[in-house]
């Protein structure tokens, strides 16, 4: 059923998606005509207590320490990570105070976000199971520390993308402190770039994390703005 267009509305309106249910009399009923009880029956939900169920999210390895700092180079896996600002480019990572890397990053105010490929899932998990207080994670994993361009801590050469960061602010939140950091440089392995220098995400074979499960990313199904782009 078409919706009435109020006077003064823009001419182009989206046609309502043709989604209907059948009531007990086998009559078609649109969602706008349904009662709240009917809608709740159509979309049953189980409400859980607050939890960190945002997904999918990245699982990345932060490298930190080294250089002239008092700390040996270390790696910590974090999943509580995200982009925070476009200009200037900034990201956030949340780290528990108990982590060895918390001490390192608090003291040096810098780290590198190393984005692993799906083939590096096991090594990513391992770096999140062991502490740099007990093991040399670079030595044990045989991951390669490589000098970064803007920060003194090393990047992980084996990861396809390395984002160099400088901590701008730390916000205590509870279990974790939120590190808000400025992105100083992004390093990309050349095999991810096509002849024109465009980044081919497919080539990176990225790793995703959802509800404590590591997953591959799956195939491309669209690009930014494709829902409104006119077909050529």
Ligand X SMILES: Cc1cc2nc3c(=O)[nH]c(=O)nc-3n(C[C@H](O)[C@H](O)[C@H](O)COP(=O)(O)O)c2cc1C
Interacting residues toward ligand X by CB under 6 A: 59, 74, 76-80, 94-96, 99-101, 125, 128-133, 176, 209
CB of 39 to ligand X, least distance (A): 36
Smallest separation, CB 181 to ligand X (Å): 14
Decide whether 70 or 191 has the Cβ nearer to ligand X: 70
Least distance (Å) between residue 91 CB and ligand X: 13
Q: How far is the CB of 51 from ligand X (least distance, A)?
A: 14
Q: How many CB atoms lie within 10 A of CB 29?
A: 14
Question: Measured from the CB atom, is 79 or 113 closer to ligand X?
Answer: 79
Minimum CB distance to ligand X smaller for 149 or for 175: 175
Helical H segments across the chain, by residue range: 36-42, 100-108, 121-127, 137-141, 201-204
Rounded Cα–Cα distance for residues 58 and 118 (Å): 11
Q: Over 23-47, what HEC string results?
A: CCCCCEEEHHHCCHHHHHHHCCCCC
Least distance from ligand X to the Cβ atom of residue 74, Å: 5
Closest distance to ligand X from the beta carbon of 23 (Å): 46
Pairing status of strand 110-115 against strand 90-96: unpaired
Query: How far is the first Cα of the chain from the last one, in angstroms, to the nearest whole number?
Result: 31
Q: Are 64 and 72 in contact (CB under 8 A)?
A: no
Number of C-beta neighbours around residue 219 at 10 A: 6
Tokens of 37: 């009880």
Q: Which is nearer to ligand X, 131 or 203 (CB)?
A: 131
In the bound state with ligand X, the residue whose beta carbon lies nearer, of 71 and 183, is 71
Cβ proximity to ligand X: between 21 and 214 the closer is 214
Residue with tokens 């400088």: 166
């Amino acid at each position: 059923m078409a919706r009435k267009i109020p006077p003064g509305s823009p001419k182009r309106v989206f046609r309502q998606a043709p989604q209907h249910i059948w009531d007990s009399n086998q009559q078609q009923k649109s969602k706008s005509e349904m009662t709240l009880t009917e809608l709740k029956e159509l979309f049953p939900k189980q409400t859980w207590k607050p939890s960190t169920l945002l997904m999918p999210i990245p699982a990345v390895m932060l490298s930190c320490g080294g250089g002239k700092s008092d700390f040996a180079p270390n790696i910590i896996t974090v999943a509580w990570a995200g982009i925070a600002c476009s200009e200037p480019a900034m990201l956030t990572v949340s780290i528990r105070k108990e982590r060895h890397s918390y001490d390192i990053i608090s003291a040096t105010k810098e780290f590198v976000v190393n984005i692993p490929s799906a083939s590096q899932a096991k090594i990513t998990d391992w770096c999140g199971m062991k502490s740099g207080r007990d093991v040399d994670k670079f030595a044990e994993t045989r991951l390669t520390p490589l000098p970064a361009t803007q920060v003194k801590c090393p990047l992980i050469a084996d990861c396809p993308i390395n984002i160099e960061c400088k901590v701008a602010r730390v916000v205590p939140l509870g279990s974790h402190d939120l590190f808000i950091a400025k992105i100083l440089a992004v390093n990309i392995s050349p095999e991810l770039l096509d002849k024109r220098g465009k980044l081919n995400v497919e080539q990176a074979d990225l790793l995703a994390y959802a509800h404590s499960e590591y997953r591959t990313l799956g195939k491309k199904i669209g690009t930014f703005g494709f829902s409104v782009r006119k077909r050529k």
